[in-house]
Amino acid sequence: MVEVHFLGSGNAFCPTGRMHSLVLIDGGLLIDAPPTLLAQLRIAGISPDEIDTLLVTHWHGDHTFGFPFLLLERRYISDRDGEHTLDVHAHTGGEQRLSHLCDLAFPGSLSDVLAERVRFHEHSSGEIEGLVRVGGGWTYERYPVHHVPETDPHGYSLVHESGLVLLHCGDSGPCSEIERRSPDADVVIIELGIPDGVPSDFHYKPSTLTDLARACPETTFLATHLFTESGTESAGEVPSLPRNVIQVADGDRFLLEKSGATRISN
Ligand SMILES: [Zn+2]
Ligand SMILES: [Zn+2]
């Protein structure tokens, strides 16, 4: 059994009721590190030193600018004795990019943590260590997606030891990799970043996500990185999508099985 906890579900603009999109898997694996990461962990009652592994999808600020804050908190508060290591998986150049970001944010304060308590992995596939204590082991493959090219955009195909296949699409518009991989995935975490009518193909929109979900009727899609407001009386209309698409909210937790996703709380 796999648990997926959405600590945020908004796009880069943080629509009312949503913080930046952020997913925590099995209590220890984070995908991306948005600027509000620490606040999101606090709200969920998760200590930053419980994070074992970080997978980075691409170099946009709403996915990475929280990284220095995560290290700063661990260095001075939750892991001041240096007992925890963070494994960071990113595409080629990830160590250099994230180290530069830490130097911009807190000059001089994080160099020892980066050197001693962070392990960078820049290969394109591998095993994720350290999560066996919670939900079992994972392997992954990183794959290219269609988004702003300067951000080096990727998604992750995650395979759990139970056989469950969880596809994370990062930020992307329609592309052959997502279309090829989605039918074989049990659950797909996909962005729905812009409404129809915005002239960009770098994000999924209601119309294109509808087409994808209809082409993969056996797959459950969890839509996040949403452009819509949430939980307020003034919140706009929620797009009408096929039945195998669930639009998530901040705080949603799901149990994933090969048969799909069950919302267990919010
Ligand atoms: Zn984004
Ligand atoms: Zn992006």
* Domains delineated in the chain: 2-265 (3.60.15.10)
Q: Cα separation of 77 and 70, whole Å?
A: 10
Rounded to the nearest whole angstrom, what is the distance from the C-alpha of residue 12 to the centroid of ligand 1?
5
Rounded to the nearest whole angstrom, what is the distance from the C-alpha of residue 40 to the centroid of ligand 1?
16
Rounded to the nearest whole angstrom, what is the distance from the C-alpha of residue 264 to the centroid of ligand 1?
26
Region for 32 from its dihedrals, namely left if φ exceeds 0, alpha if ψ lies in -120 to 50, beta otherwise? left
Q: Using CB atoms within 10 Å of the CB of residue 97, give its burial: 0 to 12 exposed, 13 to 18 middle, 19+ buried.
A: middle
Rounded to the nearest whole angstrom, what is the distance from the C-alpha of residue 224 to the centroid of ligand 1?
10
In this predicted structure, the answer to whether residue 237 has a pLDDT above a threshold of 90 is: no
Judge contact between 181 and 154, C-beta under 8 A. no
Rounded to the nearest whole angstrom, what is the distance from the C-alpha of residue 156 to the centroid of ligand 2?
15
pLDDT category, 211, cuts 50, 70, 90? Answer: very high
pLDDT category, 260, cuts 50, 70, 90? Answer: confident
Residues across the chain:
266
Rounded to the nearest whole angstrom, what is the distance from the C-alpha of residue 264 to the centroid of ligand 2?
28
Ligand nearest to the CA of 62: 1
Q: Given the structure tokens 């949430």, which residue do they identify?
A: 230
In this predicted structure, the answer to whether residue 32 has a pLDDT above a threshold of 90 is: yes
In this predicted structure, the answer to whether residue 238 has a pLDDT above a threshold of 80 is: no
Rounded to the nearest whole angstrom, what is the distance from the C-alpha of residue 137 to the centroid of ligand 2?
28
Ligand nearest to the CA of 33: 1
pLDDT in tens, 114-134: 999 999 999 999 999 877 666
Nearest 5 degrees, angle CA 251-CA 153-CA 211? Answer: 70
Distances (CA, A) of 85 to 20, 57, 115, 130: 25, 20, 11, 10
